[in-house]
Amino acid sequence: MPMQTCTSASMTCTFGLIPSVLNATPRPIVTGSMIAANILDHVPIVNIPPFGMCTCPANPAVAAATTAALGVLTPMPCVPITPAPWVAGSPTVMLANAPALNDTSTLNCVWGGVISFSTPGQATEFIP
């Protein structure tokens, strides 16, 4: 059974070079003594901090740097762009009028990266 995610959940991006930590939108709902997250916690920088450097060739900054380096892949600073909510969350558990976020949810970046959880941020609350 998936675990509920919260502030401090560790995330990775398929094109990012370092992990990042989820910052759930402040609300009075907690899990494991941390602010619980829902699928609408997908705002770049606010909820989803950068993953160090981006290595995705579809990212215009990476493509330009790679071209300038004569075709050698050149990572550039990560600036996640995540316009859509997390998929799929936990549809049977509503949290602030949106499905609760669980550790099996994923988030797509427009540059092609897929963001997923490596730890949920707490270790006591399971959700369906």
Helices within 22-74 (DSSP H only): 60-68
The pLDDT of residue 105 is: 98
d(CA 52, CA 113): 13
Q: For residues 121 and 9, is the Cβ–Cβ distance under 8 A? A: yes
Phi, psi of 61 (to 5 degrees): -65, -40
Domain limits, the chain: 10-51+79-119
Residue with tokens 């941390």: 34
Whether pLDDT at 128 is above 90: no
d(CA 103, CA 55): 24
The pLDDT of residue 32 is: 87
Dihedral sign, CA of 98, 89, 9, 31? positive
Confidence of residue 30 (pLDDT cuts 50, 70, 90): very high
Taking the model in full, what pTM does it have? Answer: 0.94
**pLDDT 10s digits, 109-120:** 999 999 999 999
